[in-house]
A and B are shown apart, each in its own frame.
Chain A
Amino acid sequence: MLEVRDLVVGYGEAAALRGVSLDVTAGETVSLIGANGAGKSTLVKALMGMQPVTSGQVLLDGEDITRRAAADRPQLGMAIVPEGRRLFKEMTVHDNLRLGLHHRAARERADAGVDLAFEMFPVLKARSRQLCGTMSGGEQQMVALGRALVSRPRLLILDEPSLGLAPMVVDQVFEVIEAVTAQDVTVLLAEQNMHRALSLSDQGYVLADGRIVLTGTGAELLRSDRVRSAYLGER
């Protein structure tokens, strides 16, 4: 479904991505793991059109979308849960969710509208008028997930969804991701929490210093010692 071919972002020694290639098959859950600064977020932003690409290609169902505007992503069936959630903090929960349906293509796909998010996270319903900036990190992550999911994306990209959250909330977030993967949504998960990410992934890529250094099924990578050394810097 998604193919990344030799993607480079930035120049020379300062390049954030130095020729990354990966494949995401439709229906699969693929995780992208690596230490802080390995290039995960840059890759995610490049896929979403939020980061200019120096060279290489991003193909979605064979179509070159490398230089398509960020604003086209909903039309392509892509949605993102950005790093740090990046909610519209001065706006209500309801308005945040509704913006997930701003694009006409998203509204056409969405069968339940914003109610989909309320079904998944009943706690949000009672707070639909609350400003997002006044909510806890876990609640904000629910809104961010809801905002991405109400548009019924074919490809959901999550950037560090567990970052900065309490362990109990992390459990909840991964439960939701698992529920999403059980539907026919393709998921690309960029995550530092490699055990959690790999255990629900069909495929994993390990990113270090702007390059893919290791790839394999989730189970293979979980057993691999090289993952630890490449990613955790453990000696």
Chain B
Amino acid sequence: MKLNQSFGASIVALTLATSAIAANQSIIVQSTTSTANSGLYDYLLPMFQDKTGIQVNVVAVGTGQAIKNAQNCDGDVLLVHAKASEEKFVEAGFGTTRTDLMYNDFVIVGPAADPANVGGMDDVQGALSKISDSEALFASRGDDSGTHKKEVALWADAGVDPATGSGEWYRETGSGMGATLNAGIGMGAYVMTDRATWISFGNKQDYEIKVEGDDDLFNQYGVIPVNPAQCPSVNVEAAKSFADWLISEDGQSAIAAYEVSDQQLFFPNAPKN
């Protein structure tokens, strides 16, 4: 009995301790690994915090999981890159509004040996066809993330069903962008990645960008405050002020100013009002 009491008391103490933290203004942003791994948040969030005093906590997972977490009301703001899924999220009442925030592009990276001979191509469907024809290894996220959804759509455009080569030349890692790059580079496979993750990635070895510059490789990020009507736990004002700041002139120029190795990673394109 005594044990039970002390356990109960400890749980209560723990709960109190955490609610004390929660009493400070703080929000949870459900976001993608690409934005977090590139260091963008480490750069942006201190500016926002200095200005408003709001603590922003970022949970970085794949877009698919981020959307599900937000649907479970485990976040105040959603910042991801899969426009169709985002619009569905808002239509279903989980988010208030979706705003274009920024963009960059996807690239296909490959080993210097370039077994499918796609180096320098700017036609992504053509490059994918060549990779599948030559059965050169291709490592896919395979995790329902924004990048994965995009890749699946591009295969469909190219008229190739990579699932037939699954486990052979088409390798689905089922993990995040960085983990997939590590795995792909380890086995000499082509990988489709967003440019921001690639530029800031530290384990490139002899890999380089092989395919880039196709309009179809456009990568749009959007920001959505979670709907308080659906999720009463949402910190409405703090969530709105974060989303508003990101699309404000200040936020947009801060995004544009973020560089890794002298290269701009994200290009702001929120609609001006």
A binds B: no
